[in-house]
Structure 1
Amino acid sequence: MNTYRGLARHYDTLTADVDYPGWADFLEKLFKRSAIPVHTVLDLACGTGSLTAILAERGYETIGADASAEMLAQAAGKTLGITGIRPLFIRQGMTELDLYGTVDAVVCCLDSVNHLKGPGELSSMFSRVKLFLAPGGVFIFDVNSAEKLKGLDGELFLDEREDLFCAWRGEYSKSSRTCRLWYDIFERDGECWIRSDDTVEEYAFEVPEITGALAAAGFEDVRTYGDRKMRPPKPGEDRIFYCSKRGNNFNGR
């Protein structure tokens, strides 16, 4: 369902207000919680690679993984002129991760975890991450809170620019705990407008099931933070960050 085929070319334009340097600053604060020095970073579900590129520019050896070929094409073009070690991009979904070795940190940002289809895929992803994260390394990700996704039900949003118009609406299902987002995109081509569309689904995970799944997968010292703030989440928080460490045992490797 989360193909991003229609959104890929316009993703950076529609998310131009995202403070990627600020996200990188926050991640680097959490890297200090690692039991090992962080030199290699996997950006899981990296999208168009904006965050991957910034981390690479800051001296980290980075890998960007995403299931969307269209998003990876944008990412590869974006990092052509990067200084230092260029990121390596691979086409792999969150539950299909398969690296040649381990990394010091894994990050998965901008509510990508919500795109998993429930607790089963969540546990599968955590198991794959643990397999390729060095013992003592940090695993950092964020989710849109269940409260936020429920609040999107029936909402309509418009993003109008000179040559681009995007309308998207949300519909939340209590039975499936899923918020489906429909996007209609209109791009100006001379005197005409070209329409494309896309559909994305986000699963409403609760905090206890995420922290429980992390512990079950072998992650330790699990901490939660409110929207890029070094404090615990407040009631009704829209975005929640999770930071944990991979245990030193090798069970399941």
Structure 2
Amino acid sequence: MTGSASDQKFSLSKLQSLLGVSRAVLSGLVSAGFVKPVRGRRNELRFSFQDVVLLRTAYQLQSANIPARKILRSLERLRTSLPAELPLTGIRITAVGNAIAVRSGPAQWEADSGQLLLDFEVAQVKGDVAFLDSAPRGAREAHIQAEEWFELGEELTATDRRGAEHAYRKAMELLPVAHYGAYTNLGVLLCEDRRGEEALAVFDRALEYFPEDCQLHFNRAVALEELDRGDDALDGYRRCLELAPDYADAHYNLARLNELRGDRQGALRHYNAYRRLQEP
């Protein structure tokens, strides 16, 4: 996948809310080579519309226990069939027998052959992209409404925090599956507002859906610190580092907590790790 950063309009956090999967899962798919995003001005990952569709496809096939080699081969063929931008008619990608079929409006074409198990749509929502899993019409409409509430929450966070909280809770209520972005943003908002118990409850619920997500474990540990539960926070930061050893902020917070507890050796170890990770 090539192109300049300006052509890649989706951030990693936006992908999380679109696909409903954790940062760890997305990072794993990127590391496996399913897509090749570019770097933005601040060295952040940026994804194209094609990347979004390919990652969703890879996740579906991976969940169906299809071998990585078959997924890579399928995606390479699918990649050549995808437009650079989402057409006004939307796109439907589905399994037809043993092939991937791509349909845009009245046109339908085969993109791959092999053992594939997926069936989803890509549709316009306020000029952006939303995925609609095969489901009754009511569930699809709920998915769209949940994305709109989530986007409203993002818009309101800086100016109307109560309104943002309401919007995130509506997104969580409407979406049949866990909305990673809504859980994450709501938990952070509550923590920033010194509502630690509520934030902790949100992160605990999110971890039921995304137990291996390092960001959720980190955020939960921050909430525990707000509640003066330092020992539990230490465990949370350690769990974060088990999942993501290069998570610099977790090293820093562990160093700080160890220092407060008089564990100079532990503090030094994590401060050194933090400084090493901050080097250019």
Give the alignment's TM-score, normalised by structure 2.
0.27
Higher relative contact order (CA 8 A, sep 6+): 1
User: Computing the radius of gyration over CA atoms, which structure comes out larger, 1 or 2?
Assistant: 2
